[in-house]
């Protein structure tokens, strides 16, 4: 039995996964934008309208800010424990139920 790699099938699946991921990210970005606009309206304040026309570029600005955010670890802190603390609190909810 001979094993052959179907490159077109693999390329098709990679493109499909990339498209679904991109669409999901865009939907998440603009759902957050819409939520902020509604929250601003409910709270009677200005919403995310600072980046681009009608604030449509605000999700990209938020993503850039998050991407370039610097993690600050105090000089006298134990680096391992400083990172382990928040991680240990996030892992139990992410683990499967018994």
pLDDT digits (tens, 9 = 90+) for 38-95: 887 888 776 666 666 777 777 777 778 878 877 787 888 888 888 888 777 766 666 6
- Quick one: average pLDDT of 23-42? 85
How much is the pLDDT for 12?
93
- For the chain, the three-class secondary structure string (H helix, E strand, C coil) is CCCCCCHHHHHHHHHHHHHHHHHHHHHHHHHHHHHHHHHHHHCCCCCCCCCCHHHCCHHHHHHHHHHCCCCCCCCCCCHHHHHHHHHHHHHHHHCCCC
36/8: higher pLDDT: 8
Q: What average pLDDT does the segment 23-51 reach?
A: 80
Q: What is the pLDDT of residue 15?
A: 95
Residue 53 is predicted with a pLDDT of 74
Query: CB neighbours (10 Å) of residue 58?
Result: 21
């Amino acid at each position: 039995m001979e094993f052959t790699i179907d490159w077109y099938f693999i390329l098709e699946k990679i493109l499909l996964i990339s498209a679904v991921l991109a669409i999901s990210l865009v939907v998440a970005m603009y759902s957050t934008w819409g939520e902020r606009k509604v929250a601003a309206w409910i709270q009677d304040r200005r919403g995310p309208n600072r980046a681009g026309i009608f604030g449509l570029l605000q999700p990209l600005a938020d993503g850039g800010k998050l991407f370039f955010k610097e993690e600050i670890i105090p000089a006298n802190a134990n680096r391992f424990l400083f990172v382990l603390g928040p991680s240990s609190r996030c892992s139990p909810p992410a683990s499967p139920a018994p």
